[in-house]
Amino acid sequence: MADELYSPTPEFSQRAVVSSRAAYDRLYRAALDHPEEFWGDLARQELHWFQPFNKVLDWQPPFAKWFLGGRTNAAYNCLDRHLSGARKNKAAIIWEGENFEQRVLTYQDLFRRVSKLANVLKRLGYKTGDRAIIYMPMVPEAAVAMLACARLGIIHSVVFGGFSSEALKTRIDDLNANLVLTADAGQRRGREIPLKRNMDAALAECPGVRHSIVYRHKGAEIAMREGRDHWWHDLMFGAPEDCPAEALDSEHPLYVLYTSGTTGKPKGVVHTTAGYLLQTHMTMQWVFDLREEDTYWCTADIGWVTGHSYIVYGPLSMGATTLMYEGAPDWPEPDRFWRLIEKYRVNVFYTSPTAIRSFIRLGDQWPNKHDLGSLRLLGSVGEPINPAAWKWYHQVIGKDRCPIVDTWWQTETGAIMISPMPGAVATKPGSATLPLPGIVPDVVDLRGEPVPAGQQGYLVIRRPWPAMFRTLYGDDERYRQTYWTKIPDVYFTGDAARRDADGYYWVLGRVDDVINVSGHRLSTMEVESAMVRHAAVAEAAAVGRPHDLKGQALVVFATCKGGVPKSPELVEELRQWIGHEIGGFARPDEIRLVEALPKTRSGKIMRRLLRELVTADKISGDTTTLEDYSVLLKLSAEGKEEEEILEQKAKNTRS
């Protein structure tokens, strides 16, 4: 069956930033033929420069420098330049807490708070080149901290508030940070997260940190160490409300964001100022088709790259109104997201496939309780979205009228790389569609040769792009080895993909999420998509385990939709279903029906942990990003119980 095409409506295209496929093709061709001229013109038009650049790109593979000689500032571009017109009184950040607290900060409000905190940091002796850790909940002050650091050229590293003290300590050590900004506590699903207490435990082994600044958020009882710990409100009281932004070199590091590897040793991804800001700014226009009156909501946590690029820097650079929510999507009721969309009349909604699948499992009655008529554009981020979830998102949330921008990008890329331009490109459920202007991807074999249309290969990027990470903090060699040597002279994304006859990209998941069963290469995404097409299944995660005969055996963990009972008959039905949908070779050796899957706080299923569970029967890798450790414990217990039952059955058979 041919892939279904969903074209934008004439009404949507008419008002879009890029309004037709021909317009997209012209833009893409201009960037392909004259990349430095293309990006140079955009940089001059879209960013404020204290000093203009004199060279667009210096590319010494695998190291890039963009907009050489230029001096700019990310905070100035996100705040100061909006204050001379009507945007000064426009809402910059709308915030709601889990307990229904609400705040609105205009661009003027945000500018004053950022300037005051920057002056506080200067008074404490911090300056350009220093390094700060931001360990905060999803509150506007987290954005204030990021922008205050950016204003002074202090390199910030936001550590997700769900991380443990040990994970925090590791990141402080690696960055050699001398400042921490935190809060007394955060909140999720009605529980307090003891941020300050975690910080204290981390700093017991981090003597290089001179000061911590603590925002009073929940009123939690905490200990304050004299001379080191300072209350945010005390320092801000009476601080001057204007602080000139530092004119920083275009390549000055803006932030370092740590991403976990399978070894547990975090990798510090370094993003610099001008190139990163330009591409996040442009993708806000191209992908989200922003209008001046829009209320835009990205549901990611500020501790992840999506929060950096598409809650803070991208939206604020564009002068948009960005919504922040601290809390869980199903608290106190499963309709919290839909309630927020209705309440704030959200126009652009950007969330993860995992969240979408969880909404499907909860049932259509929850979104159907609310008026979602303000929505005009939907987005997906974080991992490949299966076609069944895509269609549900389109039908139930978008009411068959909102285009979906299924975006592919990574922490390392800094900004969206492959995505439909919603007014120009027809979409296919499950496909990220086409690369954005200036991005030159390919699907290749291990020799670097392009594979035929429809064939699976490795997704690579052939040319440098402005928002690309420059290195891994303090480890150029690891940067080179991890990303640039597997296939020489191109960026190796680590993702498997295929490109169809129309040139559309289908990202199939991580390369290590490709399972080889009796010589057949199976993408976990393909298996999981087939599983969730079954009426009984809400979510699925497929992993491989060693098998003497097949090389690898396929194991699938799945959660059932509400009201569907787990049974051996359903397990067998699902095995046959996969055989029918993909082929007999793809029938799983084992299907485990479980109550929940292990996920990060940002909603990604941690397949690596499931793989460890089925291969080694234990977890030894990094679990610091895991949202709920009890899910893993329960899965381990269920596995052992299942083994005991099978062993008992075997004994009964022998006797």
Which of the four pLDDT bands, split at 50, 70 and 90, describes residue 551? confident
At 553, give phi and psi (nearest 5°): -110, 150
Residue 654, pLDDT score: 44
What does the pLDDT read at residue 642?
44
**What is residue 263's predicted lDDT score, i.e. its pLDDT?**
45
Question: What is the percentage of the chain residues whose pLDDT exceeds 70?
Answer: 92
Asked whether residue 401 carries a pLDDT value surpassing 60, the answer given is yes
What pLDDT is stored for residue 517 in this prediction? 77
Amino acid in the structure at residue 115: S
- pLDDT (mean) for 271-280: 98
Confidence at 395, pLDDT banded by 50, 70, 90: very high
pLDDT for the residue 547: 81
> Which residues, in sequence order, are bridge partners of residue 461?
441, 491
Q: Find the mean pLDDT for residues 381-406.
A: 94
pLDDT of 303 strictly over 70 = yes
Q: Which of 149-153, 330-334, 544-548, 583-587 tops mean pLDDT?
A: 149-153
Per the DSSP assignment, residues forming a β-bridge with 408 are 418
Flag the least confident range among 444-458, 490-504, 594-608: 594-608
d(CA 165, CA 171): 10
- Lowest-pLDDT choice from 186-200, 256-270, 524-538: 256-270
Residue 641 has pLDDT above 80, yes or no: no
Axis-axis angle for helices 35-46, 21-33 (nearest 10): 110
pLDDT score of 647 more than 60: no
* DSSP, residue by residue, 515-560: EEETTEEEEHHHHHHHHHHSTTEEEEEEEEEEETTTEEEEEEEEEE
- Give the confidence band of 415 by pLDDT, cuts at 50, 70, 90: very high
Q: How many angstroms separate the CA atoms of 402 and 396, rounded?
A: 10
**What does pTM read for this prediction?**
0.85
- Mean pLDDT in the chain? 91
CA distances from 333 to 329, 340, 356, 365, 492 (A): 8, 12, 16, 12, 42
Secondary structure letter of residue 623 according to DSSP = -
Mean pLDDT of the region 247-275:
87
Q: Can you list the domains of the chain with their CATH numbers?
A: 518-654 (3.30.300.30)
pLDDT for 617 beyond 80: no
Strand partners for 518: none
Integer Cα distance of 256 and 33 in angstroms: 32
* pLDDT tens for each residue of 539-550: 999 998 888 767
Average pLDDT over residues 401-428: 97
pLDDT digits (tens, 9 = 90+) for 317-369: 999 999 999 999 999 999 999 999 999 999 999 999 888 988 998 999 999 99
The residue type found at 277 is: L
Res 462: pLDDT: 98
What is the gyration radius of the CA atoms in the chain, in angstroms?
24
pLDDT band at 443 (very low <50, low <70, confident <90, very high): very high
Residues forming beta bridges with residue 334, ordered by sequence position:
none
| Cβ–Cβ under 8 Å, residues 499 and 453 | yes
pLDDT tens digits along 135-146 = 999 999 999 999
Confidence grade of residue 646 (pLDDT, cut at 50, 70, 90): very low
Q: What pLDDT score does 519 carry? A: 58
